[in-house]
Amino acid sequence: MKYLLFVFNSSVQDLWRNKGRTFLTSLGILIGVLSVVLLTAFGLGLKRYIQNQFDSLGTNLVFVFPGQVLKNGSFSSSPGGLQVRFDERDLVRIKRIKGAEYVVPIYTKSGDIKSLGKTEFSTLFLTSAEFFPSRNFKAQYGKLFTDADDNKRAKIAVIGPKIAEKLFGSSANAIGKTVTTSNIRLKVVGVFESKGGGGFGGPDLDSYAIVPYKTGYIINTDKKFLQMQIKATNDKVLPQLKVDITNELLKRYHSDEFSLVEQTEIMNAITQIFGVLNIGLVAIAAISLVVGGIGIMNIMYVTVTERIKEIGIRRALGARKGDILWQFMIQAIILSLFGGLMGLGLAYGITFGIQRVFPAYIDTNSVALALGVSSLIGVVFGVFPAKKASDLSPIEAIRYE
């Protein structure tokens, strides 16, 4: 204990005496740990963000897509049969199935939306009035449209708060105004409460213009839908509901022409993607950790060479090979741990600073991994120079100038 304390103290003193060198040596590890922790923080943050987005969709949802969207739990690379679109007949048939609370058709078209001389990018989202309760959309200003509006093919729109603000300055101002998109003039009857999201690849719901789907037949001339969304009355009926919907659709389509995807399945696929992505990111960042370790090894070699005479003196006075080994090992470990902790501190600082614009998130695993790896690097890369030092013959070492 006394011995270890002595070695620790003298190592710290040594490193303190060469402050500049210590810092520069640790810099490699610092950058390595920083990049590992930050990249995992970004990956995890993105994953959690997307998970939250999916949770906010509402539960007990089943999506019907054309073609094979998911294969063995991950997104299919070549979804075939995309030309198949669903139509009103499918809606009516599925609505008859027990356990289907809402059956919602979806057709989207991206494009410009204009009003009062301003043009903004938006998504025209054609759906039925049932879309709103199925996804928990509520009116913040004005009202949402109804089935009656749909049947009348009313030229109205419920728009998102973001696009409302861009076009009219505020959500409240939007009510009663007219917007033009895809050559249809629509009266804004409502602005829905913010759904958040957008900006990181997810759907930017707050910029949507939601329009009754029958009104949309003006542009959607073949009256088909890209997607259907079915909300089950509760989670217990969900498995049977999926079977029934599949059987119903099989009457009209081939089994590979459509797919039923549950929200949890999409989640799993996304989790899988991020799992792979994260491993890739960490592997890249790990390269810099290794480079940092090599930096430490170089410095330790120089230190050993500088101190050959001292090593000889210590050996003559009775230091064992192991004592010398430890002395250099501890220095290498302190160097890399120091770099690791600095990198971690910096990573926390950056994550904290960036959290307002990006949902980065540091978890304890990546902290443990980074610190574990950096001290391991100290051991691994410290052991070669330390071994060299301890293997010197005392008499040759003591004569070394």
Partner 1 sequence: MIQLKDIWKEYKIDKEVTFTALKGVNVEINKGEFTAITGPSGSGKSTLMQIIGLLDKPSKGEVFIEERDTSKLNDNETSRYRNEFIGFVFQQFNLINKLSVLENVLLPTIYSRKKLDYDPTEKAIYLLERFGLKGKIKSFPNKISGGQQQRVAIARSLIMSPLLILADEPTGNLDTKSGDEIMKLLKELNKEEKITIVIVTHEPDIASQTRRTIRVVDGNLQK
Angle at 276 between CA 37 and CA 271, to 5 degrees: 95
Minimum Å distance from CB 395 to partner 1? 4
**Closer residue to partner 1, CB minimum distance, 7 or 179:** 7
Minimum Å distance from CB 270 to partner 1? 57
**Closer residue to partner 1, CB minimum distance, 19 or 251:** 19
Minimum Å distance from CB 393 to partner 1? 8
Nearest CA to 182 among 214, 155, 218? 218
Whole-Å CA distances, 163 to 120, 190, 204, 211:
7, 12, 10, 14
Backbone phi, then psi, for 195, in 5-degree steps? -105, 0
Q: Which residues bind partner 1 (CB under 8 A)?
A: 2-3, 6, 10, 13-14, 17, 309-310, 313-323, 393-395, 398
For 103-200, where are the alpha helices, taking DSSP H only?
131-134, 147-151, 161-168, 171-174
Q: Are 122 and 108 in contact (CB under 8 A)?
A: no
Minimum Å distance from CB 347 to partner 1? 34
**Closer residue to partner 1, CB minimum distance, 329 or 371:** 329
Minimum Å distance from CB 9 to partner 1? 10
**Closer residue to partner 1, CB minimum distance, 1 or 357:** 1
Q: Which residues pair with 77 in a beta bridge?
A: none
Distance CA 9, CA 382 (A): 18
**Closer residue to partner 1, CB minimum distance, 230 or 335:** 335
Minimum Å distance from CB 275 to partner 1? 49
Minimum Å distance from CB 314 to partner 1? 7
Nearest CA to 311 among 371, 372, 390? 390
**Closer residue to partner 1, CB minimum distance, 179 or 308:** 308
**Closer residue to partner 1, CB minimum distance, 37 or 311:** 311
DSSP string, 325-366: HHHHHHHHHHHHHHHHHHHHHHHHHHHHHHTTTS-----HHH
